Structure 1
Amino acid sequence: MKRMWAPRVCHSVHGHPLWRIFIKPCAAVPIVTVRYASRGPAKRFTDHKDVDHIRNIGISAHIDSGKTTLTERVLFYTGRIAEMHEVKGKDNVGATMDSMELERQRGITIQSAATYTLWRDCNINIIDTPGHVDFTVEVERALRVLDGAVLVLCGVGGVQSQTLTVNRQMKRYSVPCLAFINKLDRMGANPYRVLHQMRTKLNHNAAFVNLPIGKESNLQGIIDILDEKALYFDGTFGETVREDEIPGDMRQEAAERRQELLEAISNVDDKLGEMFLEEKKPSVQELKEAIRRVTLKRQFTPVFVGSALKNKGVQPLLDGVIDYLPKPHEVDNFAFLHKEGDENERLRMNPERSNHNPFVSLAFKLEAGRFGQLTYVRVYQGMLRKGESIYNTRTHQKVRVPRLARLHANNMEDVEEVYSGDICALFGVDCASGDTFVTDPKLHLSMESIFVPDPVISMSITPKKEAVEQFSKAIHRFTKEDPTFRVEYDPDSKELIASGMGELHLEIYSQRMEREYNCPVTLGKPKVAFRESLAAPVEFDFLHKKQSGGAGQFGRVIGILEPLPPEKNTTIEFQDDTVGTNVPKQFVPAIEKGFRMMAEKGLLSGHKISGVRFHLLDGAHHIVDSNEIAFISAAQGAVRQAYDYGAWQILEPIMFVEVTVPEENQGTVIGNLTKRSGVITATEGAEGWGTVCAEVPLNKMFGFATELRSSTQGKGEFSMEYSRYAPVSPDVQEEVISRYHEALGVSEEKKKKKN
């Protein structure tokens, strides 16, 4: 007869067990232990003075890889929330971190959301970021202020287009990461293929620290390769983690993967490498310390596995966050100290959690709250108390902090003080994203800035007449919160033009205007953000001379307008190589200003000039008539002259498109992409599904979603992200130019009629 184990609950708080032991019934039965405690009551933030007990992490991934579901499990297992809800739950509640109504309806994350929780006596600040490339600035500014990250990969989809983008962003800010291969309960899940893609596509030195027991619908648990134990997730929600021996049929694979892990770490860690060469077997603690060392240097990526939806593998991942991701003092954060007449000095922030160091923080996200502007702040040095005054180093304004709060999605919890390493919120502080705050007005510091990509798509936006005032408020708020969303007036078409990162981006903001401001808007046909650039260098020699009685204007500029290399074709440069006094140095900034003013609107199609360098070689001035206005006009005339004699071309944004479809539809999709002037870069097939990667002009991608749905009976899905700018085909260039001249002709006729 099988003997049952009886749990004995010890040390309960309000009826919640904190830990359990199991009574062994007889010596013949193998010992099974519980590794993790059952959930206790909801835990609040613990005020640690020790920076070793802080972790700041972000959860990033491709669209629909399970980031928000994973965050929901993390909050549940750490006791932060009492019950879990799904992203598209049947109870219509939605995930905790998707607090916006639109997010819950669409089942996507639109805004990054911050929270905090407690695990193994460590405070973990978490930011859940969007997966859609349209909201990439949310990921960008989150990674800017975080110390580590969890890169979530779909067990079926593997490394996808947005995974590549997130990986580049982590590299830009040198953010160490763990990988979590999610959705191993789904049909066609293959963690080994995903690991291979991490090594080949992302160039990660990665290896498993967990292995799945079973796969797809038979996913039972995971194997901890380091401790050489099998972990099973018992209870209604997998809250009790039971340790057992590794199943017999997986012992050989577990041993092989452990050896692979040792080799991967030994290749980049000297200490473990010596032990490996001497054939010494490292202890579990030595191995964990080695993993931590190389993970912090971004030389190795530990790979965890599981299924967040099925409540498997989340607790070991939380252990990995504590064991392998950096503490705030293990990350080098720098600020620039501004000195008059000297170059800026680069200072390393001191992350010690005390009030001995001057307070320095960075505002990385703005949001309109119920009590005015809500400013998300990362504290890099010192401490701040409620009621103290802080200074904005950009505007030099002093402001009192009436309220400090920690964030939990859309809920606030007031605190009296915050220290280095904390992420918190300030109320009623007027500032911009990227501003630096200090408590010492003599400290002219600024933290390193956040990278903001340029918009790639534009649409005309028209509010209803009766909602113009509300529209103005909405535009002011949204453009301040999101630097990739811009609204400008086009004097040629007499329309307001909204620009953003994609159709979804602009559509979301139009819906938010209607929901949050009762301001319905009409979006026009999408317009691509073309650019104008030179195909070959062209010389200029332009004299601006104006005499009409009294002081006149005189300015002459000589030089070359030359194209920049393809990797710089979204920027413009100014280079001054003048010698002598023909062009006095005080007028050089005016020449640069004139060039940059002309670059705002090219003469070929009305789009911005980019990929061009204004190379100033010589010129002339008049001792009386030369002034800044004269040289601004001379520079503008030089650009016009270059249009008359130079070979100009129009550039268009090329998008990296990834399409996942059933294998039987793969040929049709390749044909559709080719028809849209796409260049197929890769194709893959596995488990009845095919993935097609291509580079396609954004101008040709409108309507592709509808076409894909109809050709695959709704089974196909795609994602696209900005790749680069490239010259358009001659027929497209001719069409864009003729459309611009038609619009100019119409506006000229309107002017004549008015006159």
Structure 2
Amino acid sequence: MSVSELKRRRTFAVISHPDAGKTTLTEKLLLFSGAIQIAGTVKGRKSNRYATSDWMEIEKQRGISVASSVMQFEYGDCVINLLDTPGHEDFSEDTYRVLTAVDAAVMVIDGANGVEAQTLKLLEVCRSRKTPIVTFINKLDREVREPLDLLDEIEQHLGVSAVPFTWPIGMGKEFQGVYDIQNDQVRVFRAGQDTLGGAVETIQALGDEEGERRFGHAWVRAKEEIDLITGATPTFDRDEFLAGQQSPVLFGSAINNFGVKEILDALVDLAPPPSARLTVQRPVQPDEPKFTGVVFKVQANMDLAHRDRVAFIRVCSGRFERGMALKVTRNNKTFRANNVVTFLSQRRETVSEAYAGDIIGIPNHGTLSLGDTLTEGEQLQFVGLPFFAPEIFQTVEVVDPMRSKQLGEALKQLGEEGAIQVFKPVVGGLTILGAVGQLQFEVVSHRLSTEYKVDVRMAPARYRMSRWVTCDDAAELRRFCDSYSPRIAYDAADAPTYLASHISEIEVAQKAWPKIVFNELREHSGAPFRKAM
């Protein structure tokens, strides 16, 4: 494949705690790249303008992101693949899977709240994968915490060296701009002025006396803090950044378009192009000539008019060409990829070619599932796509018995896309849904009603936890499942699952069946699990 095309790719996710300004920043990144002409502001139910990355009806009603979305655009000489993730912790599984498909991340921190719980969880995933992180401290136009305290908190909680690239001059009503430490210049803040093509006042090598005359005490304090952190923080080292050990820190206000261009520039200059990906069989290098890709997300009904189902694929190596024959290694089936798209959120464009690092979408009717590996023929299976044991369980039943078949099909699709985990008990009874948080049930109920025209009743199930059960001895696994049949259910990938009301029940079963492994994590659909017949 073309090495120059490979070097142009930057694939990253925007992550944050809810309400830190992540979706706003995503909008402004698109605005600055020229991908959109006006940013959609999430204003509530009565607004007719919404975030470009929020396409679900429930997202528009609530003003929150509940599904990750993909946007591809060009900035300078680079092709950017930007993935916006849900901030709400109830949708953390979707975010975790998205993080397996990127090469870098932008972490958005609310300057008033600092590092919050969901940020910590997401950063643990990034650190485990050594994902390089650019940190953006947002909302400097409001009263925020002291920058030095925020910097210290990032280092203490996230375990990385925070290296300031810019430093704020004042905050809240007194926020006047940032000092660019890397380039020895000041960018002057005027609310909303820093837009694509707009003139932004930049002052080079501003002397202390002139700075104090211009910005008052805020300048004096900023310079004192900069002198302090310059001596206390290490010099930026790109190798340390690429290893996930250092994070460049930028300050700004996304809602006012301030500091957004610096993030794009940092990603283009610092973030890595696509790198090697691991499979069960061998590492796959991005510059290999043969195409490989992995399905990291499946989304149903992005286009209600066509009842479609789109598999999002991270291209891992080679060059994709429209119409090429691709093999699904899970079942050895081959299909021709004729109708393939790239995204600017809900807007699609047909793609004729794509390279390693790109995210492409393949509309299909159940051919592709989460975790599937696509190749030109080689038998490979990419690893690392996580599914977590649910923490809340509810039974689901259809209000109108005449719609039972539709409910079954809808739950099959929602389970396959990872919107919720669906468990079918061996001994019959109501289907059980498992989720990380309560909001997932509300979203699924809403989607069942609006997208599938199926109204349901949900009620708390008697179970509180689950474990996927595996064993090297197939006969032993079969005997275990037979012995505990009232507690065994199968998920969307036909993986046998042990349901429990208390941890002691799992502990007792483990002692009685030492060969059985009780798993809190399932990696990808299909390969490691088979139904115990």
- TM interval, shorter chain, is 0.7 to 0.9
| 1:79-129: CA deviation from partner (whole Å, max 9, x where unpaired) | 110111212267431110011111011111011000022222211110000
Deviation at 1:296, TM superposition (A): 0.4
Q: Deviations over 1:538-570 (max 9, x none)?
A: xxxxxxxxxxxxxxxxxxxxxxxxxxxxxxxx6
2:317 to 381, 388, 392: 381
SS in 1 for 2:371: coil
Note the C-alpha offset of 1:435: 0.6
Matched, 1:594 2:479: yes
Does structure 1 residue 500 correspond to structure 2 residue 435?
yes
Matches within 5 A, 1:466-477: 466-477=402-413
Q: Are positions 1:302 and 2:230 aligned together?
A: no
How has the CA–CA distance of structure 1 residues 420 and 459 changed in structure 2, closer, same or farther, with 3 Å as cutoff?
Answer: same
1:282-431 to structure 2, matched below 5 A, reads: 290-328=236-274, 331-337=275-281, 346-347=282-283, 349-352=284-287, 357-369=289-301, 370=303, 372-428=308-364, 430-431=367-368
Gaps of 5+ in 1: 1-46, 267-289, 338-345, 532-569, 576-587, 617-634, 640-652, 654-755
Q: 1:254 to 1:159 in 2, by over 3 A?
A: same
Q: For the structure 1 residues 485 and 223, does the alpha-carbon distance in structure 2 shift closer, same or farther, using more than 3 Å as the test?
A: same
Structure 1 position 303, deviation (Å): 0.9
Q: Is 1:117–1:125's contact at 8 Å kept on the other side of the alignment?
A: yes
Partner of 2:24, secondary structure, is: helix
In structure 1, the residue matched to 2:102 is 146
Q: Which residue of 1 aligns with 2:528?
A: none
After superposition, the Cα gap between the structure-2 partners of 1:235 and 1:457, relative to the gap in structure 1 and judged at 3 Å, is: closer
Q: Please, what is the CA RMSD of the aligned residues?
A: 3.1
Residue 396 of structure 2 is matched in structure 1 by 461
Give the whole-Å Cα distance in 2 for the aligned partners of 1:327 and 1:335: 19
How far apart are 1:322 and its partner, in Å?
1.3
TM-score by length of 2: 0.83
- Is contact 1:350–1:357 with CA below 8 Å preserved after alignment? no
Indicate yes or no: 2:189 matched with 1:257. Answer: no
> 2:393–2:434: 8 Å Cα contact kept in structure 1?
yes
Higher relative contact order (CA 8 A, sep 6+): 2
Q: CA deviation at 1:475?
A: 1.0
CA contact under 8 A between 2:17 and 2:119: conserved in structure 1?
yes
Whether 1:435 aligns to 2:379 is no
Do the aligned partners of 2:165 and 2:248 also contact (CA within 8 Å) in 1?
yes
CA deviations over 1:126-166 (Å, ceiling 9, x no partner): 00000112111111111101000001111111111101110
Among residues 500, 506, 520, which one is paired with 1:610 in the alignment?
506
User: For 2:150, which of 159, 176, 194 is the aligned residue?
Assistant: 194
AA paired with 1:333? R
Helix, strand or coil: the match of 2:381? strand
Equivalent positions of 1:193-212 (< 5 A) are 193-212=149-168
Q: Matches of 1:522 and 1:573 in 2, distance apart? A: 32
Counterpart of 2:244 in 1: which secondary structure? coil
Q: Which residue of 1 aligns with 2:5?
A: 50
> Which residue matches 2:21?
66
Separation in 2 of the partners of 1:335 and 1:433?
15
Shift of 1:317: 1.4
Shift of residue 218 of structure 1?
A: 2.5
Contact 2:142–2:173 at 8 Å: present in 1 too? yes
> What is the TM-score of this pair, normalised by structure 1?
0.60
**Partner-residue secondary structure (3-state), 1:447:** coil
- Change beyond 3 A, Cα 1:589–1:468: closer
The share of aligned pairs that are identical, in percent, is: 27
Is 1:168 equivalent to 2:124 in the alignment?
yes
Structure 1 letter corresponding to 2:266: G
Superposition deviation, residue 215 in structure 1: 0.5
Count, aligned residues:
486
- Alpha-carbon distance in structure 2 between the residues aligned to 1:438 and 1:77: 35
Contact 2:166 2:178 in 1 (8 A): yes
Say if 1:210 and 1:305, in contact at 8 Å, map to a contact too. yes
Instruction: Call closer, same or farther: CA 1:611–1:51 in 2, change over 3 Å.
Output: farther
> Offset of 1:571 from its aligned partner?
7.2
1:373, CA displacement in angstroms? 2.4
How far apart are residue 525 of structure 1 and its match?
3.7
SS at match of 1:524: strand
TM-aligned CA distance change 1:124 to 1:599, over 3 Å: farther
- Over alpha carbons, which structure has the higher Rg? 1
CA distance in 2, matches of 1:221, 1:130: 30
Q: Could you tell me how far 1:178 is from its partner in structure 2?
A: 0.8
Relative distance call for 1:48 and 1:262 in structure 2 (3 A) is: farther
| CA distance in structure 1 between the partners assigned to 2:408 and 2:188 by the alignment | 55
SS at match of 1:201: helix
Structure 1 distance, partners of 2:36, 2:50, is: 13
**The residue matched to 1:610 in structure 2 has which SS?**
helix
* Structure-1 separation of matches of 2:390 and 2:170: 45
Query: SS state of the match for residue 90, structure 2?
Result: helix
- Cα drift, residue 386 of structure 1: 0.9
- Name the SS of the counterpart of 1:445 in structure 2: coil
Deviations 1:229-280 (A, max 9, x none): 11125585421332115433536744753673575335xxxxxxxxxxxxxx
Give matches, 1:514-553, under 5 Å: 514-525=449-460, 529-530=464-465
Q: CA deviation at 1:304?
A: 0.8
Partners of 1:572 and 1:610 within 8 A in 2 = no
- Note the residue ranges of structure 2 that are not aligned, 5 or more in a row: 489-497, 521-533
Opposite residue 438 of structure 1, the aligned amino acid is T
The alignment partner of 2:125 has SS state of helix
Q: Which residue of 2 aligns with 1:510?
A: 445
Inter-CA distance 200–605: structure 2 relative to 1 (3 Å threshold): closer
Per the TM alignment, residue 598 of structure 1 is displaced from its structure 2 partner at its CA by 4.2
